[in-house]
């Protein structure tokens, strides 16, 4: 088993490659095209009303869960296809993995106005706003799931692959019997993190303004943001109570049963002493009605699908790199894309040239200030998530108690509690800076914690027995087993956490509260100001600058850690 090998970067001796340049140009062109569509959107959109009556909360909760579920379904589909192609196509990997690295670094909150305004220019308003909110939630869920799936595919033990080759599994059988089971534990934990991230951005997804345009949707996020804006503490309490109830129900009815079910796929020579349990999973496992439905409906459907896949894709032997010869059609498509990128880059460059030098100076200063806050939030998150994550991951009894609490804490939108925190710290020296770091920490720490829990949970039981037999205790135990086994998970959590902190800067450095606008120096503050004022050239320049800085950090710093994880911390 080698669960520590994460990414196979091509050309790791260089911090950037041609693929990075093409990808960043493509993002710039997409932003520019969205801005042009946004300019064609209606100038004034009628302000809908959101009721703060508690009786509306069940309906609002259903709307929000529906949007989250739609975004999660898109995330799963994207994850399976994208990660599979990147893992098994050597040429595609050279483009897809740098692209994924860039996409997870893009500040999604700065894209929301462009996405929604673009959609309102070509679609009816209600559909455009719904799609825009789902897209935002999707971008908050998908990246860590895709990284986890890709990591699982490239770290499947050699002996398991050889067994599938001996039995001549085709692609479908390999996916169903080897790849998905091997990745189940990692995918489930990252799915829980994705839902928590979706709740975090729900308030931004369901209600926001761009200049004179007011967009809002009925849902828990919109309810909480409206209540916070009006200072209605009673409504905030009702909204948070409903959100916590929804999170607990999802944990008990979905996530705990999935974790109990996925324990059977854990790799190791020895069984877990205390496997995870779920009362709901035990209940449905004993249900004769459900068993009859599975036999009558589910088994025939999956059986027919398997037979169809076997006819379409006959046994092919060992999994091969699916590189093929590049056809003239692909060359033609590449040429058209290149022409489009070149034209879009020229138009975006023309928009950027119009920015005054003072604006570029503000962007440079803002990037430096935000970088310091991101580093502070990341260090604080590492200090407490590693010991707690190890304790939860290695102790199933503690996990049964702590997991719902962690899930609730991670899912409560920090932006809903931010006004209360502001009241407490604004009177202190550097109050808003302190508050900004705290909000970044709230958006950062959970990526680390969930990855550490998943990494600790995946440590084979036989290795735990070995360290006990050797009498390793305390720091020796951590140095020999825990930290080496967790290093890849910490790196994966670190890169997604840093991306989350950069994203959170947009809501942490620019706050509207009690009829006042509070802001501090930072790139997130500039993006928020550009969004509120409809200053699209500044929005384009600030967003691209943040993307370039985050990608550079990932290439220079995080890539070296990934290489270290692959070279020194591999289990076979």
Q: Which residues contact 117 (CB under 8 A, 6 or more apart)?
A: 34, 37, 38, 41, 210, 213
Q: Which residues contact 540 (CB under 8 A, 6 or more apart)?
A: 28, 31, 32, 35, 348, 351, 352
Contact assessment for residue 5 and residue 154, using Cβ atoms and an 8 Å cutoff:
yes
Sign of torsion, CA 326 329 333 338?
positive
Contact assessment for residue 151 and residue 491, using Cβ atoms and an 8 Å cutoff:
no
CB burial string 38-65: b at 16+ within 10 A, e below? beebeeebeeeebebeeeebeebbebbb
β-strands 213-216, 207-210 pairing: antiparallel
Which pLDDT does position 327 carry in this prediction?
52
Q: Quote the CA–CA distance of 16 and 547 in Å, as a whole number.
A: 13
Which pLDDT does position 488 carry in this prediction?
79
Cα distance from N-terminal residue to C-terminal residue, the chain:
4
Which pLDDT does position 312 carry in this prediction?
65
Contact assessment for residue 186 and residue 148, using Cβ atoms and an 8 Å cutoff:
yes
pLDDT tens-digit profile, the chain (572 residues): 333 333 333 333 444 555 556 556 666 666 666 555 555 444 444 445 677 888 888 888 888 888 899 999 999 999 998 888 888 887 777 777 777 766 776 666 656 666 666 666 677 767 777 887 888 888 878 888 888 888 788 778 778 888 877 777 777 778 888 888 888 888 888 888 788 778 777 766 776 665 556 667 888 877 887 787 677 778 888 888 888 888 888 888 888 888 888 877 776 655 565 667 777 787 777 767 667 777 777 778 777 777 776 676 665 544 444 444 445 555 665 566 667 667 666 766 767 777 888 888 888 999 999 999 999 999 999 998 899 988 888 887 787 778 778 777 776 666 666 666 666 666 666 667 787 888 788 777 888 888 888 888 878 777 878 888 888 888 888 888 888 888 878 887 888 788 778 877 877 787 766 566 777 888 888 888 887 777 778 888 888 888 888 878 877 887 778 777 766 765 55
Q: Quote the CA–CA distance of 572 and 563 in Å, as a whole number.
A: 17
Which two three-digit tokens encode residue 159?
């002996």
Torsion of CA 490, 496, 502, 508, to 10 degrees: -80
Closest CA to 207 of 219, 222, 218: 222
Q: Quote the CA–CA distance of 88 and 99 in Å, as a whole number.
A: 16
Torsion of CA 428, 430, 436, 438, to 10 degrees: -50
Chain-centroid distance of CA 245 in Å reads 23
Alpha helix locations (H) across 17-124?
A: 18-39, 57-88, 90-103, 108-122
**Tokens 């108690």 map to which residue?**
401
Q: What is the DSSP letter of 1?
A: -
**Helix (H/G/I), strand (E/B), else coil: 518:** strand
Contact assessment for residue 211 and residue 533, using Cβ atoms and an 8 Å cutoff:
yes
Q: 18-35+54-277+356-568: what CATH class?
A: mainly alpha
Contact assessment for residue 75 and residue 104, using Cβ atoms and an 8 Å cutoff:
no
Q: What are the structural domain ranges in the chain?
A: 18-35+54-277+356-568, 278-311
What's the chain's Rg over C-alpha atoms?
24
Which two three-digit tokens encode residue 431?
């109050």
Closest CA to 245 of 73, 403, 412, 53: 412
Q: Quote the CA–CA distance of 411 and 197 in Å, as a whole number.
A: 7
Which pLDDT does position 74 carry in this prediction?
92
């Amino acid at each position: 088993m080698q669960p520590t090998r994460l990414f196979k970067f091509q050309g790791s001796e260089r911090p950037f490659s041609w693929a990075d340049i093409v990808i960043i140009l493509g993002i710039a062109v997409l932003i520019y095209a969205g801005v042009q569509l946004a300019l064609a959107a209606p100038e004034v959109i009628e302000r809908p009303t959101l009721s703060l009556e508690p009786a509306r909360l069940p309906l609002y909760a259903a709307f929000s869960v529906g949007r989250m579920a739609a975004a999660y379904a898109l995330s799963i589909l994207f994850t399976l296809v994208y990660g599979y192609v990147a893992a098994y196509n050597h040429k595609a990997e050279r483009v897809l993995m740098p692209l994924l690295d860039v996409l997870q670094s893009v500040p999604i909150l700065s894209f929301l106005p462009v996405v929604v305004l673009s959609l309102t220019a070509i679609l009816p308003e209600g559909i455009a706003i719904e799609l825009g909110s789902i897209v935002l939630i999707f971008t908050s869920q998908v990246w860590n799931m895709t990284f986890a799936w890709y990591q699982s595919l490239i770290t499947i033990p050699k002996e398991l692959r050889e067994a599938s080759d001996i039995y001549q599994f085709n692609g479908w059988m390999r996916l169903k019997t080897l790849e998905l089971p091997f990745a189940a534990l990692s995918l489930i934990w990252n799915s829980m993190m994705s839902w928590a991230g979706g709740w975090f951005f729900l308030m931004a997804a369901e209600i926001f303004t761009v200049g004179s345009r007011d967009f809002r949707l009925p849902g828990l996020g919109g309810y909480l943001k409206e209540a916070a804006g009006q200072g209605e503490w009673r409504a905030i309490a009702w909204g948070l109570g409903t959100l916590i109830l929804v999170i607990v129900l999802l944990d008990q009815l979905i996530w705990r049963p999935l974790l109990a079910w996925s324990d059977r796929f854990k790799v190791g020579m020895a069984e877990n002493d205390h496997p995870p349990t779920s009362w709901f999973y035990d209940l449905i496992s004993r249900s004769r009605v459900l068993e009859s439905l599975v036999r009558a409906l589910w088994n025939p459907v999956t059986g027919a699908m398997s037979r169809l896949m076997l006819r379409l894709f006959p046994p092919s032997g060992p999994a091969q790199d699916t590189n093929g010869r590049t056809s003239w059609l692909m060359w033609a498509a590449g040429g058209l894309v290149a022409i489009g990128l070149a034209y879009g880059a020229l138009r975006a460059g023309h928009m950027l040239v119009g920015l005054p030098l003072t604006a570029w100076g503000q962007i440079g200063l803002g990037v430096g200030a935000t970088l310091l806050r991101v580093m502070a939030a990341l260090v604080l998150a590492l200090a407490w998530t590693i010991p707690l994550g190890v304790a939860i991951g290695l102790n199933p009894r503690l996990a049964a108690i702590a997991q719902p609490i962690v899930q609730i804490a991670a899912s409560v939108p920090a932006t809903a509690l931010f006004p209360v925190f502001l009241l407490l710290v604004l009177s202190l020296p550097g109050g808003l800076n302190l508050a900004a770091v705290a909000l970044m920490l709230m958006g950062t720490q959970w990526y680390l914690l969930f990855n550490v829990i998943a990494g600790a949970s995946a440590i084979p039981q036989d290795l735990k027995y070995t360290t006990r037999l050797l009498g390793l205790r305390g720091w020796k135990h951590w140095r020999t087993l825990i930290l080496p086994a967790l290093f890849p998970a910490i790196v994966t959590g670190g890169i997604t956490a840093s991306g989350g902190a950069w994203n959170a800067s947009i809501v942490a450095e620019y706050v509207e509260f009690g009829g006042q606008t509070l802001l501090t120096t930072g790139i997130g503050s500039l993006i928020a100001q550009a969004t509120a004022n409809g200053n699209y050239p500044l929005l384009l320049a600030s967003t691209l600058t943040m993307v370039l800085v985050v990608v550079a950090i990932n290439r220079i710093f995080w890539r070296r850690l990934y290489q270290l994880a692959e070279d020194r911390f591999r289990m076979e």
